[in-house]
Structure 1
């Protein structure tokens, strides 16, 4: 069964209505937990991701639901806080849900997914990208996105081949599993291609002053060809702004933590220049699923998708609904087995088949440029 998209949640529970009435009684909904940081440093990724999921649930319910029953989201704001996330996961598995999904960062998935694993309930992360997640969590863990190895390789290849960078300085948020992994895979690929990592500097999530890192970067002679910044959105815009305010016009490269409007709005159009990052593919893709999603999202929310995390949320709940339908059951174990058997699911962000070890789908990676605060798809990298 092929689903399209929509819902309506904002912190608690969203129910579908009369279309499911049978002899005057509404069908019992199938409940799925959505765990997202709707506030805090990851909200610019998680907010759009939840909206994408809401869109898909509305569309599924408009088309008759799943197994003839409405799909219902039970939404938790995890507030970019690991303890809040862990507590939300405990509440979620006690809320009569058949599956869970959400989170755009590995650290926060690891605060939630093991609880679903222990409860025997499948969990699909919409945006977290560490390729070891399913190994760390267990057989109930699935990823809707590519792995950090692929997106790091993509930006490393583009940096070396197209931008002709040979000497790169690296900044890493040392507090996050995602950012450390992104850096490790970037360094591996860039050096494998023949590039040089000049040096590496560090900061922590929540830092707002990067003057010390900038001073060390300025002191490098000759000037590096680029600086690779492994960061989440709250740091992405700040690092760009402060580097440019210091008078440095060095190219900035990164991964999907930069796939946020904060990269444009925090520096502003005069400073948001010469930035390139890898992220999830859907823009510049001519598959019908992509344009249908964009049109539906804009119709519901009165603006285009903010970033690629919006279609990832759409895809994550779509994978779960597809598995429920394929299983013919709302039993979590049956849903898990159907997820594992998923082949050629037509997701907006690329076809999903769980054929790789660890349930990490091989998917294309987009390279985005930012000039004058405008985003443009420059290339699409495909895994070997």
Structure 2
């Protein structure tokens, strides 16, 4: 039985996708070690999208020719949109491990998220900021990235509904970075919310800190990046899919198995998302009792109470986005010094 996987193993998306691909591979190894699915071996066919939507599309079309039971992968909205044609053409499920746009299921009716949506993580970030009495914000957005635009919009909506003030807002692409940090300083906000991909986020944080601006920088799951786990980054708070702890009853076995296979702990929670995506799809394949794509799609849609490393997953009421809590992780100069699970309240 074959599962296709598309991940960007190089380029701007690699900090998220490389760990996720490793988690996916670990899941397949564990499934096969336990006897496979209904006694049949599972093969993971991995294609490198190279952080290029055109290459991702090529991967999806090529993999669609391989008689797959389903596809998994990717951590960015634009990349998943590029991958959708292959899965849609083959009539198989596509389970994105880490792309968080709540609009993605509209692209193809066989497209599922294994992760929370941007609306949920942005609301969690806004609510957590208010718990810290951070009432004014500079909102910085990577304008060429769909993920960043959506995340910023959802954050703005929730933050302002709570009574927060957006003191300054700017798109990052092509901006004069020196003028940008000067404008942030003049606005004197309590915090920055940074909606950007991992590479640009690390660059902006460095420039802000170099300018002597020490206010907390909040952001989405793209800030769960090795670049921001280094010293000198000050206070960083981001929404994550899990806090991976080898002493946790939920994540500990995964952390230890990952370390055993790769010789180091998981780089970030995206590793666990890749693992969960494969395990979730495999569980649906097993329940379907068939390689028929329609049977697998139906089984996936009927998932209830799947226990994953990143949380429990159910697709309730025909939705293809799980209702999961958001782990807010706080870093001080690259070291975790706090975390909290936030389940956002109803819209105000």
TM-score range, shorter chain: over 0.9
> Aligned in 2, Cα 1:325/1:56: closer, same or farther, shift over 3 Å?
same
Q: In structure 1, what is the equivalent of residue 99 of structure 2?
A: 128
1:254 matched to 2:215: no
Alignment of 1:277-356 (within 5 A): 277-283=238-244, 288-356=249-317
Equivalent-residue separation in structure 2 for 1:371 and 1:286 (angstroms)? 22
- Cross-structure match for 1:67: 38
1:188 alignment counterpart: 157
How big is each residue's C-alpha offset from its partner over 1:202-234, in whole Å with a ceiling of 9 and x where there is no partner?
Answer: 023xx79733321221232xx110111101111
Structure 1 contact 362–383 (Cα < 8 Å) conserved: no
Alpha-carbon distance in 2 for matches of 1:35, 1:208: 32
In the alignment, structure 1 residue 154 sits paired with structure 2 residue 121:
no
Superposed, 1:364-379 pairs within 5 Å as 364-379=325-340
- Partner residue in 1 for 2:115: 145
2:209 to 235, 244, 248: 244
- Compute the displacement of 1:116 (Å): 0.9
Q: Is the 8 A contact 1:237 1:264 kept in 2?
A: no
Given that 2:331 and 2:338 are in contact with CA atoms closer than 8 Å, whether structure 1 keeps it comes out as: no
Q: Name the SS for the 1:366 alignment partner.
A: strand
Structure 1 residue 248: Cα displacement = 1.2
In the TM superposition, 1:164-175 aligns within 5 A as 164-175=133-144
Give 5+ residue unaligned stretches, structure 2: none
Match of 2:177 in 1: 210
For 1:356 and 1:259, the matched residues in 2 are separated by 31
Aligned length: 345
Relative to structure 1, the CA distance from residue 118 to residue 306 in structure 2 (aligned partners, 3 Å threshold; closer, same or farther) is same
Structure ID, larger Rg: 1
- TM-superposed CA distance for 1:298, in Å, is 1.0
Partner of residue 186, structure 2: 219
1:104-142 CA distance string (max 9 Å, x none): 01110000023312321110000000111102x222101
Q: Find the aligned partners of 2:180 and 2:306 in 1 and give their Cα distance.
A: 44
Contact 1:132 1:358 in 2 (8 A): no
| RMSD (Å) for aligned C-alpha atoms | 1.6
Q: Does the CA contact (< 8 Å) of 2:156 and 2:166 recur in 1?
A: yes
Cα contact 1:208–1:238 (8 A) shared by 2 = no
Residue aligning to 1:10: none
Residues 221-276 of structure 1: per-residue CA shift (max 9 Å, x gap)? xx1101111011111211111111111112211110100111133xxx1x211111
